[in-house]
């Protein structure tokens, strides 16, 4: 029986996992003790500020009210990513909605042959609403529900802090301490964890959330990393927080900006009281000093006194995520890169899967481990191919980075044949095996058509949907993004006064 779970490490990975496990055990009547031990000295990376729509299900499963979440994490809405200069001089969107529903193959194929009709503006309502900065929901909608799919921009450090207090209030045991020793049994299982506070912590199942250090799975159990660096060249980021009292943009946007740069790309994300910006780049083509200078030049003179933070990462994944009685979640298992906001999703996926496999692990541990490792490896490979797509189909050859990032040897093998097919037709229903994908046909359509990769014969425009009435109705019924955020702020102030 899994009577106890020890989660080593906090941050987003530790606290999302702990709360998902705790909520599952409470719902199913499992009497499982959940303990989280966190270092007081090691800072969280905490740069992941964008999410995908599954975060709503995760927070709802945990039981954190949406208003509470919006207030405590400085969250704003995210409805799409707006890509600029991935083809030089061009802009396109990857929104969360795809019209019409159900998908029309005829419409997609018809569009792909048209000249000058942007796919996003003809097949997404959210792309058009983003131009008006319309919120995807109104205060009348139930929590975590709306007429349109949406996610959030958030402060990941504040998310971890709120989930920490929420989890402890709901029975998760909390310890502070640095891990000084991991005991491994002769059978290759974790037998206990010692901290510098004198704690000897034991459990039936150990979850490694120690970030890139991977103290349990990578360190104690010596599980090697499978590198993705051949396919994803970026391995550095320089980030900055820009408070609105230093510089406030004209609008708090409902989308992430992803702008291609000479040696990578740059994000720009709007929260309630600040923006988060970051330049993701390849150290083969740019050094830290030049990357920081480029970020400050982009932001302007008001950034001169702001602190810049440099982060090193490697794209890759542990060969297995679950070995013996230890599972790695988040950065301790693997990392791709910040593009398309998959980092928090991988934590959500792992936490939910582990919670639902506790009973399986008790009855058939080896089969459970093999199955979990297979689906997790498949998920990483799926996301790897999608991220790789953004680079390899670019028409940019203007810098050494882009010549390398678009070279034939960088293409993921699983993507190669499909790219050959997609030159002549749009992606079809049989191009994406697997039921539970993060990025499926809709997402590929927006990237492929947005970057003008698909060619084909001329078709009639009759298949292109007219979304004007839907857009008009949504604009009449939904508030402006800043107006919605003002309501959140007023509700928070009223609660403090009551």
78 is catalytic: yes
Under DSSP, the state recorded for 482 is H
**Nearest-5° Cα angle at 228, 226 to 233:** 150
Q: Tell me what pLDDT residue 156 has.
A: 94
Question: Could you please report the per-residue DSSP string of 352-406?
Answer: HHHHHHHHHHHH-HHHHHHHHHHHHHHHHHHHHHHHHHHHHT----SSHHHHHHT
Is 12 flagged in the annotation as binding?
yes
H or E, element range at 35: strand 33-38
Grouping H, G, I as helix, E, B as strand and the rest as coil, residue 197 is: coil
Q: Please give the pLDDT value at position 116.
A: 62
Q: What is the DSSP letter of 216?
A: I
- Give dist(CA 385, CA 330) in Å, integer: 19
Classify 194 as helix, strand or coil. Answer: strand
Cα–Cα distance, 160 to 42 (Å, whole number): 14
**Which pLDDT does position 462 carry in this prediction?**
52
Tell how strand 80-84 and strand 255-261 pair up. Answer: parallel
331 is known to lie in a ligand binding site? yes
- DSSP label of 452: T
Is residue 165 marked as binding?
no
441-450 and 105-113 helices cross at what angle (nearest 10)? 10
Going by C-alpha positions, the residue among 197, 212, 187, 200 that lies closest to residue 326 is: 187
**Hey, how many other C-beta atoms are within 10 angstroms of the C-beta on 423?**
12
Tens of pLDDT, residues 206-227: 999 999 999 999 999 999 999 9
pLDDT at site 117: 73
Q: Is 179 annotated as a binding residue?
A: yes
Report the pLDDT value the prediction gives residue 346, as an integer from 0 to 100.
97
Q: Give the pLDDT confidence score for residue 424 in this predicted structure.
A: 82
Phi, psi of 414 (to 5 degrees): -65, -20
pLDDT of 386 reads 97
Per-residue confidence in pLDDT tens, the chain, 498 aa: 899 999 999 999 999 999 999 999 999 999 999 999 999 887 776 555 899 999 999 999 999 999 999 999 999 999 999 999 999 999 999 999 988 755 555 555 555 555 567 889 888 999 999 999 999 999 999 999 998 999 999 999 999 999 999 999 999 999 999 999 999 999 999 999 999 999 999 999 999 999 999 999 999 999 999 999 999 999 999 999 999 999 999 999 999 999 999 999 999 999 999 999 999 999 999 999 999 999 999 999 999 999 999 999 999 999 999 999 999 999 999 999 999 999 999 999 999 999 999 999 999 999 999 999 999 999 999 999 999 999 999 999 999 999 999 999 999 999 999 999 998 888 888 898 876 789 999 999 999 999 999 876 445 555 677 889 999 999 999 999 999 999 988 877 777 766
List 78, 257, 317, 323, catalytic entry: 78
Name the helix (H) or strand (E) containing 201. Answer: strand 200-201
Distance CA 140, CA 158 (A): 26
**Beta partners for residue 83, in sequence order:** 92, 258
Rounded CA gap, 121 and 275, in Å?
Answer: 26
- Give CA–CA dist 184/368, Å, rounded: 21
11 appears as a binding residue in the annotation: yes
For residue 115, the model assigns a pLDDT of 53
């Amino acid at each position: 029986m899994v009577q106890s779970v020890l989660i080593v490490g906090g941050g987003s990975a530790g606290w999302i996992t702990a709360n998902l496990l705790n909520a599952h055990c409470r719902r199913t009547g499992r009497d499982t003790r959940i303990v989280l031990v966190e270092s007081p000295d090691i800072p969280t990376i905490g740069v992941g500020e964008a999410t995908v729509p599954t975060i709503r299900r995760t927070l709802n499963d945990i039981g954190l009210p949406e208003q509470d979440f919006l207030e405590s994490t400085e969250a704003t809405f995210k409805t799409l990513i707006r890509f600029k200069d991935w083809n030089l001089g061009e802009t396109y969107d990857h929104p969360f909605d795809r019209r019409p529903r159900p998908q029309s193959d005829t419409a997609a194929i018809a569009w792909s042959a048209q000249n000058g009709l942007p796919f996003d503006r003809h097949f997404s309502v959210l792309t058009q609403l983003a131009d008006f900065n319309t919120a995807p929901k109104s205060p009348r909608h139930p929590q975590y529900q709306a007429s349109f799919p949406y996610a959030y921009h958030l402060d990941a450090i504040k998310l971890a802090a709120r989930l920490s207090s929420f989890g402890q209030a709901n029975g998760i045991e909390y310890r502070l301490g640095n891990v000084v020793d991991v005991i491994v049994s002769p059978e290759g299982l974790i037998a206990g964890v010692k901290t510098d506070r004198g704690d000897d912590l034991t459990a039936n199942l150990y979850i490694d959330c120690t970030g890139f250090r991977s103290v349990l799975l990578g360190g104690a159990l010596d599980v090697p990393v499978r590198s993705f660096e051949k396919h994803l060249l970026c391995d550095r980021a320089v980030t900055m927080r820009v408070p609105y009292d230093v510089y406030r943009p004209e609008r708090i946007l409902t989308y992430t900006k992803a702008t291609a740069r000479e040696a990578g790309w740059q994000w720009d994300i709007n929260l309630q009281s600040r923006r988060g910006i970051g330049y993701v780049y390849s150290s083969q083509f740019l050094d830290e000093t030049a990357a920081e200078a480029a970020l400050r030049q982009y932001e302007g003179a008001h950034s001169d006194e702001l602190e810049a933070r440099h982060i090193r990462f490697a794209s890759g994944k542990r060969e297995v995520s679950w070995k013996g009685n230890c599972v790695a979640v988040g950065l301790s298992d693997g990392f791709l890169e910040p593009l398309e906001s998959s980092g928090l999703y991988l934590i959500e996926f792992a936490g939910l899967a582990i919670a639902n496999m506790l009973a399986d692990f008790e009855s058939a541990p080896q089969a459970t481990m093999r199955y979990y490792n297979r689906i997790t490896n498949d998920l990483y490979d799926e996301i790897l191919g999608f991220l790789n797509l953004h680079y390899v189909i670019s028409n940019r050859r203007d810098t050494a980075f882009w010549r390398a990032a678009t070279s034939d040897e960088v293409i993921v093998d699983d993507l190669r044949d499909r790219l050959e097919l997609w030159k002549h037709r749009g992606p079809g229903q049989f191009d994406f095996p697997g039921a539970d994908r993060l990025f499926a046909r809709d997402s590929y359509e927006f990237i492929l058509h947005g970057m003008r990769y698909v060619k084909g014969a001329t078709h009639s425009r009759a298949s292109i949907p007219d979304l004007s009435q839907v857009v008009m109705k949504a604009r009449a019924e939904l508030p402006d993004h800043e107006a919605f955020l003002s309501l959140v702020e007023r509700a928070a102030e009223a609660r403090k006064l009551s």
